[in-house]
Amino acid sequence: MKISTILDQIDLGSMALPEFQRGYVWNRDQVRGLMNSLYRKHPVGSLLVWVAKTENANARGDGSLAPGSVELLLDGQQRITSLYGIIRGKPPKFFDGNAQAFTGLYFHLDEEVFEFFAPVKMNDNPLWINVTELMKADVGIFIGKLFSYPEFAPKINEYINRLTKITHIKEIELHIEKVTGEDKTVDVVVDIFNNVNSGGTKLSKGDLALAKICAEWPEARAEMKKRLEKWKKAGFNFRLEWLLRNINSIITGEALFVALKNIDSATFKTGLESTEKSIDKLLDIIASRLGLDHDRVLGSTYSFPLMSRFLVQRGGNFIDYKERDKLLFWYIHTYLWGRYAGSTESVLNQDLHHIESLDGALDRLINQLRQNRGDLRLQPDDFKGWSMGARFYPMLYMLTRVCKAKDWLSGVELSSNLLGKLSSLQIHHIFPKALLYKHGYPRPEVNAIANFAFLTQETNLVISDRDPTIYLEELSAKQPGAIESHWIPKDKNLWKPEYYLDFLSARRELLAQAANNFLDSLVAGTIPEKEIGPSVLERIEFGIPGEISTPAEEDLLLECNAWIVANGLPEGEFLFELTDPVNNQMLAVLDLAWPEGLQEGLSKPVALLIDEGRETEEAANRAGYRYFTDLESFRSYVCTEILALGESCSDATNESEIVS
């Protein structure tokens, strides 16, 4: 079938994209390669379509389908979408991706190369032809323009042939293989898709499970995204697959997505509603009871499927506060020891089976943790981690919230109900980094968890990078007990830089003691109830507190991630925990990471590491990551190798726009 006819079929609704297909992921290099191959009449492969009855077809987008039957693209989406965008000058209705990948393609009549628009190179140069304009207009218009340049006369016939050759791309025939028959269910077709797409991105089990649900309930994906957006506005950024796993656990009691195979749309809708209610309640409980009020301190998000399942089994409410606190005790230990950092499905399945019977369920879960750990008591050495990504970072944040730690300037308790931009908690280095580096301490010791304290932004700004021997003395006099409420050793000799390592050791002792006291009280059900504050879901977070060195560095990472998403690429994971797949030990924490690559399945894992040490870089390298240590080189990589935007990319991504 001619390319022009295929595009007409898309406009008529006779050809569409199945719901289970992922979005458009090609970059500009791939688009250029396709056009170059077609221009030179090289083979570009055939298409594979699934012929389905229109009434049974579950297609992407809001375009209407032709009556009777429709051909759903299984193999060829990237090629056809690119051609549609170039020839029509707009994406097809089923489009979901970054239109910049095929926008602004030009052809040089002399060099016979395709490139994307670069103003310095192409402005006022008549040899650069806008391919989309050529495809949409009469070639005669462009030929007429060439005759207005006398200097082109010697090569005018060559230029005319090249223009015509480009327009004839629309007439190239592409072979179409068709999958037909009543026996071709979604399962069968997805298997076919994965087989023919072996060189590209295969559908995950979650994709397949959602595809089956969408076949009956097309709005399922959109409804799930509504919930994700609600939680994101409150400071909790979850992924679609995470929500699907929660729904799966609630409906089926299983972790594996295959359990959704025979679930009908009505059951799934009910499961989504139950999941939303249970997650809302859990987020509020965790925020109010533990003070963990945004996603960077939640620790183990993959504990939620089990907690959601348990809560729904209880009819949406705990028997009493003791049962609730015992579940929270289990939850805390799951992130302290990385319960779900490795083989999530198998471990979650094991734990879900422990709560099939609610009688004694929480004791079984806690005993399972004890069997794996031997002892759940926290030791001072457990606080030896460093950086904001250490597993005990949420524990320090939690202790600050729940143990009545006081602000050093105002003396106000840093409870979980503080609101406002200057009240959100930020990391403070008790011993300033510059001071410690000056005394020769290495990065892991400078950024040790035991050197962190959480303060309001206002207090953090006032203290800044002052010497602790001076400011701790002053604050102790102004607000008696405030310093000690953060487990700062009372021995003033330890406030001197030369005794910094002794300070860390003494503070770890105090932190371990405070943590054990709190956890013992939590599991015993002896912690008094707190006054109920506003729902965490009613707040819009102004920013995320964090060690990431400075507020400017935090803004840099947040804005960089926003820029990535704005360019149609997947959102990166903050403080991604890199673990050993064999023993589940944490190897490093990556500031901002894309473990599946910026083009999932088509590019290697990548990370942005700002002001990290050699150990982190080496760990990322061993794990197969391509990493960048500054924003400029990362932007260059994204622009040139992923988006293939070249010079035009830098205009939209200068540093002043990323660091606000």
DSSP annotation string for 223-270: HHHHHHHHHHHTT----HHHHHHHHHHHHHS-SSGGGGTT--HHHHHH
d(CA 273, CA 295): 22
Which residue is listed with tokens 């898309």?
10
Domain-embedded: residue 199: no
> What SS3 state is found at 509?
helix
Q: Are residues 393 and 366 part of one domain?
A: no
Q: Are residues 27 and 153 in the same domain?
A: yes
Half-sphere exposure of 456 (CA within 13 A, CB side): 22
Element (H, E) at 452: strand 452-456
What are the tens digits of pLDDT across the range 386-431? Answer: 755 567 888 998 999 888 899 898 888 887 444 433 346 778 899 9
Sign of the CA dihedral running 265, 266, 267, 271 = positive
pLDDT tens-digit series, residues 45-62? 888 888 888 887 777 777
Positions in the chain short of pLDDT 50: 416-423, 539-549, 650-660
Strand ranges inside 164-203, DSSP E: 176-179
Nearest to 643 by CA among 24, 133, 16: 24
Q: How far apart are CA 304 and CA 307, in angstroms?
A: 5
Residue 354 counted as domain residue:
yes
What is the C-alpha to C-alpha distance for residues 464 and 170, in angstroms, rounded to an integer?
64
| Residue 489: inside a domain | yes
Strands of 113-116's sheet in order across: 113-116, 105-108, 128-130
Of 338, 266, 416, the C-alpha closest to 579 is 338
233 and 159 assigned to the same domain: no
User: Pick from 373, 400, 433: which residue ends a domain?
Assistant: 373
Whether residue 545 lies inside any domain: the answer is no
Q: Which of 480, 507, 538 is the last residue of a domain?
A: 538
Contact of 248 with 196, CB cutoff 8 Å = no
Rounded to whole angstroms, the Cα distance separating 372 from 367 reads: 9
Contacts of residue 306, defined as CB under 8 A and 6 or more positions apart, other chains included, come to 249, 348, 351, 352, 355, 365
Please give the residue range of the domain that contains residue 439: 380-538
In a domain, 48, yes or no: yes
Mean pLDDT computed over every residue of the chain: 84
CA distance 209 to 193: 15
Distance CA 471, CA 473 (A): 5
Same domain, 418 and 397: yes
**Domain match, 17 and 146 both:** yes
Note whether residue 425 is domain-resident: yes
| 316 Ramachandran zone, left/alpha/beta (phi>0; psi -120 to 50) | left
Per DSSP, what are the bridge partners of residue 573? Answer: 593
**283 plus 357 within the same structural domain:** yes
**Residue 500 belongs to a domain:** yes
Tell me the CB-side half-sphere exposure of residue 50, using CA atoms within 13 A.
Answer: 31
Question: Quick one: 32 and 68 in the same domain?
Answer: yes
Domain boundary among 538, 560, 575: 538
Residue 543 lies inside a defined structural domain of this protein: no
Domain co-membership, 300 together with 274:
yes
Question: Looking at the 3D structure of the chain, how many domains does it have?
Answer: 4
User: In Å, what is the CA distance from 109 to each residue of 36, 421, 578?
Assistant: 13, 56, 49
Contact between residue 59 and residue 71 where contact means Cβ atoms under 8 Å apart: no
Do 81 and 160 share a domain, yes or no? Answer: yes
Cα–Cα distance between 84 and 4 in angstroms, integer? 9
CA distance 622 to 272: 40
Does 337 lie in the same domain as 400? no
Evaluate whether 65 touches 72 at the Cβ level (below 8 Å).
Answer: no
Quick one: DSSP state of residue 61?
Answer: S
Dist CA 330 CA 614 (whole Å): 35
Strands 626-628 and 425-429, by their bridges, are: unpaired
Answer for the pair 132, 86: CB distance below 8 angstroms, yes or no: yes
In b/e form, how buried is each residue of 150-170, taking b as 16+ CB within 10 angstroms?
eebeeeeeebbebbeebbebb
Tokens, residue 248: 């799966």
The number of residues making up the chain comes to 660
| Cα–Cα dist 191/183, whole Å | 13
Task: Return the pLDDT at 654.
Answer: 38
Looking at residue 390, its pLDDT comes to 66
- How many helices (DSSP H) and strands (DSSP E) are in the chain? 27, 13
Residues 216 and 336 placed together within one structural domain of the fold: yes
Question: Burial of 123 by CB count in 10 Å (0-12 exposed, 13-18 middle, 19+ buried)?
Answer: exposed
Return the C-alpha torsion angle 448, 449, 450, 452, nearest 10: 100
The answer to whether 393 and 530 are in contact (CB under 8 A) is: no
Same domain, 327 and 413: no
Residue tagged 């992923």 (tokens)? 642
